[in-house]
Amino acid sequence: MLGELRTGERRPLARLLTRVEGGDPSVRALLPDLFAAGHGGHLVGITGPPGSGKSTLVSALIGEWRKRGRRVGVLAVDPSSPYTRGAILGDRIRMMEHAADRDVFMRSMASRGELGGLAATTWIAAAALDAAGFDPILIETVGAGQSEVEIARLAETTVVVEVPEMGDEVQAIKAGLLEVADIIAVNKGDRPGADRAARQLRAMLSTAGGRIERKPPPVLVTTATTAEGVPALVDAIEAHRSTARSPMRARERAASQVRRALADLAARHAEADPGWEASVQAVADRELDPFTAAERLLDAGRLE
């Protein structure tokens, strides 16, 4: 199975991802070998508000990395993503171009697999792309819900895609940006005010005092539709790679992943416990507080 993956053939990879997405329980047994088989592909999160141009930018990024001789994997964690449907004709044509390229692998992830939430499913899928030798591996998420933020946080390098019309939302955006952004792309650079928006963001971030001992993220202007600014964005992502691999950052990410796995596992074991229904009912009837209920379920010893 893993041998097949390493050949770089698309079909075994596609089959494995279908199993991951479909919640096939046999995937669990593959995980140790799957993670061990990784080549260290750069995990790059592309996130931002709906319609900011993430998919178009991903397409342009693919083009630039292909010019640099790299094999690019893409996971789109969004049911409405144009990798499968939607999107205007121009986007589709660009996607089709890449779809014919055997050194580009694109896949939409929509469902939640057996081994936990969308974040877990996405990370197993990313590991599969890594084992198949794709580098970088781009993960597009709409930066809205908690699970998307979680996915972004697990990427080694996260690019937040904004648009020039941020206006009064800038302050609100700021908090979210500092939370996840390693690089900010002000996309739709062909629209008026893009350079000004980028300057505003830079000024704001330089005084924001976000996470201590961290430099403010670089702010770049891109036009995804023409690929203007995209080579510079690729340079910035590449430059961030070594920062992302500092022992401290690697540990932070690993801790998040283990915490996530632990929460998923504990929840699954508790739900399988014969005492689950009674515990839930007791909480609903206000006879028990949720914390005590959870503690008792954990103590039931199902978490091996």
Ligand X SMILES: Nc1nc2c(ncn2[C@@H]2O[C@H](COP(=O)(O)OP(=O)(O)OP(=O)(O)O)[C@@H](O)[C@H]2O)c(=O)[nH]1
CA angle, 27 then 28 then 31, to 5°: 90
Give the CB-side neighbour count of residue 30, counting CA atoms within 13 A: 21
Q: Which of these ranges, 11-19, 22-30, 77-85, 280-288, lies near ligand X under the rule CB under 6 A?
A: 77-85
Residues lying near Mg ion in the complex (CB under 5 A) are found at: 54-55, 81
- Tokens of residue 34, six digits: 């799957």
- H-helix segments, the chain: 2-6, 10-22, 27-36, 54-67, 89-99, 118-131, 146-154, 170-180, 194-206, 230-244, 247-272, 276-284, 290-297
- Residue 142's binding partner out of Mg ion, ligand X, none, with CB under 5 to 8 Å set by partner kind: ligand X
Rounded CA separation 55/70 (Å):
19
Instruction: Verify binding: residue 50, ligand X, rule CB under 6 A.
Output: yes
Least distance from ligand X to the Cβ atom of residue 249, Å:
26
Residue whose C-alpha is closest to residue 73's, from 20, 120, 135: 135
- In the shown chain, the binding pattern of residues 224 to 243 toward ligand X, with x for contact by CB under 6 A and - for none, equals xx------------------
Chain residues 207-226 in contact with ligand X, contact rule CB under 6 A: 223-225
- Residue 224's binding partner out of Mg ion, ligand X, none, with CB under 5 to 8 Å set by partner kind: ligand X
- Tokens of residue 39, six digits: 């080549």
Residue nearest to Mg ion (CB): 55
Binder among 190, 245, 283, 288 for ligand X (CB under 6 A): 190
Instruction: Verify binding: residue 78, ligand X, rule CB under 6 A.
Output: yes
Tell the burial category of 270 from Cβ atoms under 10 Å away from its Cβ (0-12, 13-18, 19+): buried
Instruction: Verify binding: residue 184, ligand X, rule CB under 6 A.
Output: no
Q: Which of these ranges, 84-92, 103-111, 147-155, 276-284, lies near ligand X under the rule CB under 6 A?
A: 84-92
Give the CB-side neighbour count of residue 133, counting CA atoms within 13 A: 14
Can you tell me which residue has the tokens 């504990």? Answer: 266
- Residue 187's binding partner out of Mg ion, ligand X, none, with CB under 5 to 8 Å set by partner kind: ligand X
Total residues interacting with ligand X, rule: CB under 6 A: 22
Question: Which residues bind to ligand X, rule: CB under 6 A?
Answer: 50-56, 78, 80-82, 87-88, 91, 142, 187-188, 190-191, 223-225
